[in-house]
């Protein structure tokens, strides 16, 4: 047997509930792997109790695990931005998660808000969202706050190095898929500096992948196509903020945010990658057993795949697909869904 040592950050709101189901399924899927998990207490509770967000000592411990499974970070009892900028983004940045991988796939039996005509053409694409740059780096500031002359800036940082590595990853993923199609989403008609750097980099790296077909959409147009013709997309590569926005639309058209999984991936493997549902902490339904753990479970499947247990990953995904196909209208609790999926393994 091989072993798998994961760090678990339940976090805030529904995070701990959905992560518990993901761990249940992970255990059921890995009879040949000895899985150990260590829980880390990060999020609102820790901040209220200690004022800490992400202590250096915890960050160092996290580095020692094979992968991280995260529930959700963010709580209305904490000022907006404190936990996001203090826990989640520092993890992504410090562990160099430059590929934020967000698949969107409409599983059989799942209802999309799009019409049957639209989804008949297929809905199965993956967004490669850059994870370490863009407006997320915190390069900006405010002047004369609270006065009529107040100024606020958030400067988007785009480096050739950062764009090239994520674009190359997206080409690799596109090349490995049957359609071999890659769409760059940006806004180079307005964001001329960053936009042209992204476009040039795509073209230059693309010369190494002559069998991958390239397309380009401005982000506003991309939102139209996501809602009217998602079948055109295979792999999308985009910057951190555009990727944040379009992956919520992608989740919605693929059956809802309760099903959307993601991986914050460091392809160099010099630090552990982190897997988390795309959804947030949903404080309004926390603690009631109402949250759908499917996104967390599919994130655990991505984790297994990343750490080299592709077979177990595929079994988890198949168990989720089978559950989704038979789900119907009957309401089930968080743990009932987790039990049902684990029970198929």
The β-bridge partners of 143 are 151
**Is 175 annotated in some ligand binding site?**
no
Using CB under 5 A as the binding rule, whether residue 244 contacts Mn ion is answered as yes
Q: Which of 74, 135, 206, 230 binds ligand IPM (CB under 6 A)?
A: 74
Candidate residues 244, 305, 317, 323; the one interacting with ligand IPM per rule CB under 6 A = 244
Contact 247/278 with Cβ under 8 angstroms?
yes
**What does the alpha-carbon distance between residue 83 and residue 101 come to, in Å, rounded to a whole number?**
22
- Is 107 part of the annotated catalytic residue set? no
For residue 321, the minimal CB distance to ligand IPM (Å) is: 24
Which listed option, ligand IPM, Mn ion, none, makes contact with residue 84 (CB within 5 to 8 Å by class)? ligand IPM
Q: What share of the chain is helix, strand, coil (3-state, %, to 5)?
A: 45, 20, 35
278 binds ligand IPM (CB under 6 A): yes
Q: Which residues contact 263 (CB under 8 A, 6 or more apart)?
A: 99, 100, 101, 273, 274, 275, 299, 302, 303, 306
Least separation in angstroms between CB 331 and ligand IPM: 26
Nearest to ligand IPM of 167, 278 (CB atom): 278
Contact status: 135 vs ligand IPM (CB under 6 A): no
Catalytic residue among 234, 244, 305, 323: 244
The three-point CA angle 18-251-10 to 5° equals 20
Among 5, 27, 41, 84, binds ligand IPM (CB under 6 A): 84
**Residue 102, marked binder:** yes
Cα angle, residue 201 at apex, residues 197 and 204 outer, rounded to 5°: 140
Residue list 129-168, contact with Mn ion (CB under 5 A)? none
For the CB of residue 238, give the shortest distance to ligand IPM in the complex, in Å.
Answer: 13
The answer to whether 248 is a known catalytic residue is yes
Instruction: Out of 75, 96, 187, 209, pick the active-site residue.
Output: 187
Question: Does residue 71 touch ligand IPM according to CB under 6 A?
Answer: no
State yes or no: residue 154 binds ligand IPM (CB under 6 A): no
Per the annotation, the verdict on 187 as an active-site residue is: yes
Q: Which stretch binds Mn ion (CB under 5 A): 85-93, 95-103, 203-211, 237-245?
A: 237-245
Reply yes or no on whether 209 is catalytic. Answer: no
Residue 151 Cα distances to 138, 145, 146, 159, angstroms: 15, 7, 10, 25
User: Is 285 flagged in the annotation as binding?
Assistant: yes
* Shorter beta-carbon distance to ligand IPM: residue 302 or 319: 302
- Report the phi/psi class of residue 108: left, alpha or beta, with left for phi > 0 and alpha for psi in -120 to 50: beta
Cα separations in angstroms, 123 against 32, 92, 118, 223, 303? 33, 28, 9, 14, 23
Could you tell which of Mn ion, ligand IPM, none binds residue 88, using a CB distance below 5 to 8 A set by kind? ligand IPM
Distance between CA atoms of residues 148 and 297, nearest Å? 48
Rounded CA separation 106/99 (Å):
22
CB 297 within 8 A of CB 22: yes
Whether residue 220 lies in the annotated active site: yes
Binding residues for Mn ion (CB under 5 A): 244
Binding residues for ligand IPM (CB under 6 A): 74, 84, 88, 244, 278, 280
- Which segments are annotated as binding site for substrate? 92, 102, 129, 220
The catalytic site residues sit at 136, 187, 220, 244, 248
């Amino acid at each position: 047997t091989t072993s798998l040592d994961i760090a678990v950050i339940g976090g805030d709101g529904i995070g701990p509930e959905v992560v518990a189901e993901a761990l249940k399924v992970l255990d059921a899927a890995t009879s040949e792997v000895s899985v150990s998990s260590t829980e880390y207490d990060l999020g609102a509770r820790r901040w209220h109790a200690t004022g800490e967000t992400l202590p250096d000592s915890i960050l160092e411990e996290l580095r020692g695990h094979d992968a991280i499974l995260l529930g959700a970070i963010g709580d209305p009892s904490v000022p907006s931005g404190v936990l996001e900028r203090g826990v989640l983004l520092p993890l992504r940045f410090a562990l160099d998660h430059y590929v934020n991988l967000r698949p969107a796939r409409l599983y059989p039996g799942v209802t999309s808000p799009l019409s049957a005509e639209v989804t008949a053409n297929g809905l199965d694409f993956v967004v490669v969202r850059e994870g370490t740059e863009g407006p997320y780096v915190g390069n900006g500031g405010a002047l004369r706050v609270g006065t009529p002359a107040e100024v606020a800036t958030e400067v988007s940082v785009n480096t050739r190095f950062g764009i090239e590595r994520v674009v190359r990853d997206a080409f690799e993923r596109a090349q490995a898929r049957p359609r071999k199609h890659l769409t760059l989403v940006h806004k180079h008609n307005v964001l001329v500096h960053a936009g042209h750097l992204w476009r040039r980099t795509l073209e230059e790296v693309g010369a190494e992948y002559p069998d991958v077909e390239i397309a380009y959409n401005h982000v506003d147009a991309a939102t139209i196509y996501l809602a009217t013709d998602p079948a055109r997309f295979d792999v999308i590569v985009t910057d951190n903020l555009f990727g944040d926005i379009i992956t919520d639309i992608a989740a919605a058209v693929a059956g809802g945010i309760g099903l959307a999984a993601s991986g914050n991936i460091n392809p160099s493997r010099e630090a552990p990658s982190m897997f988390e549902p795309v959804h947030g902490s949903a404080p309004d339904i926390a603690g009631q057993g109402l949250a759908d753990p499917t996104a967390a479970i599919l994130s655990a499947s991505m984790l297994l795949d990343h750490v080299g247990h592709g077979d177990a990953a595929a079994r988890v995904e198949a168990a989720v697909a089978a559950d989704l196909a038979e789900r119907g209208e009957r309401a089930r609790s968080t743990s009932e869904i987790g039990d049902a999926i684990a029970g198929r393994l």
